[in-house]
Amino acid sequence: MGNPKVLEAIQNKLAGMVGEPSGYLDSLPESVKKRIKALKKLQFECTKIEAEFCEEIHKLECKFADKYRPIYHKRKEIIAGLYEPDEGECDWPSDEEDEEDVENEQKNGAKKLKTVDEPSEPTKGIQSFWATTFKNVELLNGMIQEHDEPVLDSLMNVQLELNSDPMGFTLLFEFDENEYFTDKVLTKTYTMQSSADENDPFGFEGPEIISCKGCSIHWKEGKNVTLMNMKKKQKNAKTGNIRIVTKEVQVDSFFNFFSPPEVPEDPSAEIDADVEALLQADFQIGHFIRERIVPHAVLYFTGDIDTDDEEDGEGDDDMDEDYEDYDEECDPDYDPSKDVQGGKDCKSQ
């Protein structure tokens, strides 16, 4: 195996076999094939146990939701300005504090905070908390249009309710009184399933969202940010007279999130590819709000969580690009003689 040509020939042969059936299974006797079928049947039993395990985890999440509820309620009151935390509740090191100040505080009990001048009029709560949080998340930032921002400024809370029958969850967006719509709460409900499908027995990867339902928004007159009035000229074919007609057209808006495409009740029904893509994106957003934003809202608000770091494999891609861009001729430390010597060492093995 010390001959590089032999190694190269083997690598080329293996590369050509990737993704191709080896024919080994077809060559097995019928008795062995039956045993393999028995193993697959056992594997399916494991899949069903895994699905049952996921259902129990969801029930446990529902149970622990009661423990989170008072914490989230206090968070809501602080943001809305309904509750003012005392000094003890505010005792948490800030990023702008020097490490030396923190050490002195720990040693001497002295509190030394960097402060800025308070505005002439007292502030209330944390303005635009949720709007800022959403804009700091890349997945949501692209949904938010300029005309959405003043509406989102009145968003006071995002609450999560877990449902057990059917399995799923509901996101509740609570708004302060505003000039855009009369609703106090907008909801988005997601239905999930955690079961192994006999038609795809080994495709189970945990609970999945299978449908979602939004809600009607009761917009005040002329304030619907999801619609725009478009004026168009129309010419009468007989008289030649021209008139201006106004037509409402749907525009991009965060609030389209509450009007998702409908999922057919029949699971075997075909779904248009564009609708399927919209649903998958919607499911991803709903899952992200549930799993990441609701539990860690303040960290997204402050930017402590970098959403760029949450992209899978991004670091690996950057590493690959570094290798691809490397030019040994531009490297002042590159010594070709070492490569030659290295080649000799390989051949002598």
pLDDT at 275 over 80: yes
pLDDT at 318 over 70: no
pLDDT digits (tens, 9 = 90+) for 221-273: 999 999 988 777 777 777 777 777 778 888 999 999 999 988 877 767 788 88
Average pLDDT value for the chain: 80
Residue environment code for 319-339, b if the CB has 16+ CB neighbours within 10 A, otherwise e:
eeeeeeeeeeeeeeeeeeeee
Using alpha carbons only, give the angle 73, 78, 80 rounded to the nearest 5 degrees.
Answer: 95
User: Which of 55-69, 199-213, 283-297, 321-335 comes out lowest in average pLDDT?
Assistant: 321-335
Yes or no: say if 172 and 199 are a contact pair by the CB < 8 Å rule: no
Q: Which H/E stretch holds residue 131?
A: helix 129-135
Which residue has tokens 């708004």? 175
pLDDT at position 301 is 95
**Residue scoring higher pLDDT (171 or 19):** 171
3-class DSSP state for residue 311? coil
Q: Which residues pair with 81 in a beta bridge?
A: none
Yes or no: say if 289 and 158 are a contact pair by the CB < 8 Å rule: yes
Tell me what percent of the residues of the chain surpass a pLDDT of 90: 41
User: Which of 4-13, 101-110, 200-209, 288-297 comes out lowest in average pLDDT?
Assistant: 101-110
pLDDT at 149 over 50: yes
Q: What residue type is assigned to position 279 of the chain?
A: L
3-class DSSP state for residue 234? strand
Cα(215)–Cα(186) distance, integer angstroms: 7
Tokens found for residue 181: 């719509």
Cα(323)–Cα(344) distance, integer angstroms: 24
**Residue scoring higher pLDDT (342 or 56):** 56
Q: pTM (2 decimals)?
A: 0.71
pLDDT at position 49 is 87
Residue 176 — very low, low, confident or very high, per pLDDT cuts 50/70/90?
A: very high
pLDDT at position 343 is 43
Which residue has tokens 């094939």? 33
Cα(57)–Cα(80) distance, integer angstroms: 33
pLDDT at 320 over 90: no
pLDDT digits (tens, 9 = 90+) for 279-291: 999 999 999 999 9
